[in-house]
Structure 1
Amino acid sequence: MKLPRTIKETQTGLLKKDFSAVHLVDGYLARIKKYQSLNAFITVADKVAYEEARKVDELIKNSDGDLLKDKPLLGVVVAHKDLFLTKGIRTTAASKVLESYIPPYNATVVKRISEAGAIIIGKTNCDAWAHGASGENSDFGPTKNPWNETFVPGGSSSGSAAAVAADFCLFATGTDTGGSVRLPASFCGVVGFKPTYGVVSRYGVVAMASSLDCVGHIAHTVQDAKAIFEIVKGQDGYDSTLTDFEPVQSKKLKIGIPREYFTEGVDREVERAVLAAIGIYKKQGIQVVDISLPHTKYGVSAYYVIQPAEVSSNLSRYDAIRYGNDRLAFSNEAKRRIMLGTYVLSAGYYDTYYLKAMKVRSRIIEDFDRVFRRSADGVDAILTPVSPTPAFKLGEKSKNPLEMYLSDILTVNANLAGLPGLSVPAGFTKNNLPIGFQIIGPKFSENILFDLGKLYQDEVDWHKKEALA
């Protein structure tokens, strides 16, 4: 069967009886099996998927009212990044340390998505503990890019982006600590969304760096990304960082283009695609202005001090006493970040590294505060490339950690400042590899980002291209 590509297509087909939820699951599982070389999944939950699909079919059969009011994701097939706790379904964080761990409860986001009627198809591969920008650091083998299997899909939410791009599910959850939803979305030609820090609960999600972690998701369209956000956001009584908020709105939008994001090192094809996207906004009557974020270049250095410091604290709980395997099962990348983090927090080095990095973080936040609309000169959103380059070849950077860390250079600052971001497909290279741009807004401006993203997708068809057609 031809698999649907949006929530609306899925639910229209189900309610019109064009196909059943069980047939839908049949289609996805057949596709996962056919293209299993992509290694997008760590666990395929076929039994759970069929059980949930039968419940959906029964609901539709016996319904005489508006099912979608109570079940806005009815029949939609979702995959969860293997950092999200799923009751009764193995959760490994892509690490051999948790190779056989089966959680006794669901993460808040998993619970809300399931209660909205979605069907879980499985748990997606990722860089172990979310440590990586390529998808190559998984203890269960690297994920491959559906557009070309010799290239990386981006990380750390590698399997989630690959699964959506390959039509193994309709949407997938992910985490974004330094770009880990937006980067793989860009490399795989799909939409990646990162909310404002403190808007979506992290409860039940394996922690990486607690002051930076954001729970996001990946879909084919901006419209679907918005619909999913409306379901997962808000207080849950478990995550103390969550806040009640009033969405930021603006009647006449102005986009800022930061010159620091278009410096030497940005691939020509990436630059051309992003400039073309800017041109579309201009044609739609949106004002576009040049801006400056002078501390941008220090972001990745500050990030790779703060993040490992928090990683070293969070990974200390895995001692194999209550659950999991011995720490000897940690991979080299996890060990590297534990050692680096412990070092920068140690006596005599705390002020030199960690404290200085936190001061740089404050300057980056001030940069963003200054350019966003506080006066007539402010902007409502910022538009930049997601990555300086398109996807790179498997193994190309894996032996050089510093070069790999620089893949995050254009995404980490939004995490340091706690800002929302949206990655949108913007075209392809001459080698048919996807390119994306990102829109970053002030805190709680998710609706502005969705409006801008939808406006762009209404004018182009990049998001309609199929990776394995």
Structure 2
Amino acid sequence: MTDLTKLTLKSALDGLSKGDFTSLEITDAFLNKIDAINPKLNAYTLVTHEKAREDAKASDARRAAGNAGALEGAPLGIKDLFATKGYRTAACSKILGEFKPEYESTVTSNLWRDGAVMLGKLNMDEFAMGSSNETSAYGPVVNPWQVEKKLTPGGSSGGSASAVAADLCLAATATDTGGSIRQPASFTGTVGIKPTYGRCSRWGIVAFASSLDQAGPIAKDVTDTAIMLKSMCGHDIKDSTSLNVPVPDFAAAVSRGVKGLKIGVPKEYRLDGMPEEIEKLWQDGINWLKEAGAEIVDISLPHTKYALPTYYIVAPAEASSNLARYDGMRFGNRVDGKDLIDTYEKTRAAGFGAEVQRRILIGTYVLSAGYYDAYYLKAQKVRARILEDFTKAWEKCDAILTPTAPSAAFPLGQKQTDPIQMYLNDVFTVTTNLAGLPGISVPAGVDVNGLPLGLQVIGKALDEETLFAVAGSIEKAANFTAKPNL
């Protein structure tokens, strides 16, 4: 039998359907590989061996009875931001400790409804705050591409991206607040999509910035990502921001091609000092789409240069509000002090890491009396202008092509002491979160060191099908077959 862990999600589902192997067999293959490889990568913070095997046996029974779901028997990894009933959900923070929720997130409930199997919980930046997976209370994740060099897999969904790239799951859930699905996908040679804000319910996902957070999948190819997204999406009455719209057959759109589409290329994404290999990859993507029948049009997104400072006002402001609930009173860890205020202060000082504390302080500052109008209100006005830029661009094009990240994966520790340099990793991705638009990263080439580089496609709200069509065309033309050297 071939190595079952190297299968794509689609090929695994096909094999399960044909009876080539059982869910228990492929689940055991993944569990054995996780036990062997995860110590090198630190991608999983919790491996649920017993639950995975129980889920797999139940899945095999359903399939034998003719009740197979859309993801029946597929072993998946779950980012530690998603509540999993009875299993530790800590958002990789000390403050939540061994918290085991008594409820299941809507997204993971949808996956279990469709027959998926949970292999375990995946590492991430603490409360999803980071671009390198170095702020986790469980330690950093290592990129599987060049393990000995200790490179970042990106963040905050670094565990998800690393696990998928290393074949430690068929696919994984992830979240994206400013690029935390797409940037890790670019760094690890995987595919990641942030859908339109509201496509996936946020209920049961530990909140970072409520108006920006959105769940999405990371998978091995574009089709797998489409399959995952269809199961993850759906209206949820428990989430007031959840959109009550039909969920299309995303996978059917992957092969429909780009003939007749207009692809926008924004001049503002050509940054000073951008590496030549990123510029070349972008041009390759333009040429591929042109050869596939698309029309390339120049567009302008003039407020792009304000996107990062806007994001780093809005996101910390919302974080400071959301994270106020972690006070040591109701759940998670507590450090007792001499009185109530002292207990709050000691609990939060011990429980939150340096980056989370930094963002809470920034957020509290910009929301404080005397600074609210100068910072937060102004940032919201700029955010509206960024959305207007995209609205005008859609008059000229159907989708937008950009690089995903300004570089390939960098060594762990290289940027940790310089928050500004770390924040610049999100320069190409934050605009879609601020505007609530879908964006996907597709591996399209490698740099001079053999590390993967991604191209990003941005689409209109609720038009993920066009996104998948363009991504599928890029994937076909790029023919990216490189793999990590594990």
2:49 aligns with 46
Query: 1:166 touches 1:468 (CA, 8 Å); kept in 2?
Result: no
Query: 1:79 touches 1:122 (CA, 8 Å); kept in 2?
Result: yes
Query: 1:247 touches 1:447 (CA, 8 Å); kept in 2?
Result: no
2:211 aligns with 211
Which of 266, 269, 293 pairs up with 2:277?
A: 269
2:457 pairs with 1:439: yes
Measure the CA separation in 2 of the matches of 1:76 and 1:278. Answer: 35
Measure the CA separation in 2 of the matches of 1:414 and 1:306. Answer: 14
CA RMSD for the aligned pairs?
Answer: 1.6
1:155 aligns with 155
Amino acid across the alignment from 2:363: G
2:391 pairs with 1:369: yes
2:217 pairs with 1:199: no
2:399 aligns with 381
2:312 pairs with 1:304: yes
Which secondary structure does the structure 1 equivalent of 2:53 belong to?
helix
2:233 aligns with 233
Shift of 1:329: 1.3
Shift of 1:20: 1.9
Which of 115, 129, 132 pairs up with 2:130?
A: 132
Q: For each residue in 1:69-94, what CA deviation from the matched residue of structure 2 results, as whole angstroms up to 9, or x when unmatched?
A: xx000111111110000011111100
Shift of 1:349: 0.6
Q: TM-score, normalised by structure 1?
A: 0.95
Query: 1:247 touches 1:444 (CA, 8 Å); kept in 2?
Result: no
Amino acid across the alignment from 1:227: I
How many residues get paired?
A: 459
Which of 320, 331, 336 pairs up with 1:323?
A: 331
Amino acid across the alignment from 1:173: T
Measure the CA separation in 2 of the matches of 1:345 and 1:367. Answer: 26
Q: For each residue in 1:215-270, what CA deviation from the matched residue of structure 2 results, as whole angstroms up to 9, or x when unmatched?
A: 11101111121122222212111110122347899983100010111221322112
Amino acid across the alignment from 1:349: Y
In structure 1, the gaps of 5 or more residues are none
Shift of 1:14: 2.0
1:407 aligns with 425
Q: TM-score, normalised by structure 2?
A: 0.92
Query: 2:445 touches 2:478 (CA, 8 Å); kept in 1?
Result: no
2:288 pairs with 1:280: yes
2:368 aligns with 346
Measure the CA separation in 1 of the matches of 2:241 and 2:59. Answer: 34
Amino acid across the alignment from 2:219: A
In structure 2, the gaps of 5 or more residues are 334-346
Q: Aligned residues: percent identity?
A: 48
Query: 1:5 touches 1:220 (CA, 8 Å); kept in 2?
Result: no
Query: 2:234 touches 2:247 (CA, 8 Å); kept in 1?
Result: no
Which secondary structure does the structure 2 equivalent of 1:269 belong to?
helix
Shift of 1:10: 0.7
Taking a change above 3 Å as real, the CA distance of residues 54 and 9 of structure 1, as seen in their structure-2 partners, is same
Trace 1:3-18 onto structure 2 (pairs within 5 A). 3-18=5-20
Measure the CA separation in 1 of the matches of 2:223 and 2:14. Answer: 16
Which of 81, 85, 105 pairs up with 2:103?
A: 105
Shift of 1:459: 2.9
1:120 aligns with 118
Measure the CA separation in 2 of the matches of 1:353 and 1:455. Answer: 41
2:476 aligns with 458
Shift of 1:465: 3.0
Query: 2:285 touches 2:474 (CA, 8 Å); kept in 1?
Result: yes
Shift of 1:406: 1.0
Measure the CA separation in 2 of the matches of 1:279 and 1:266. Answer: 19
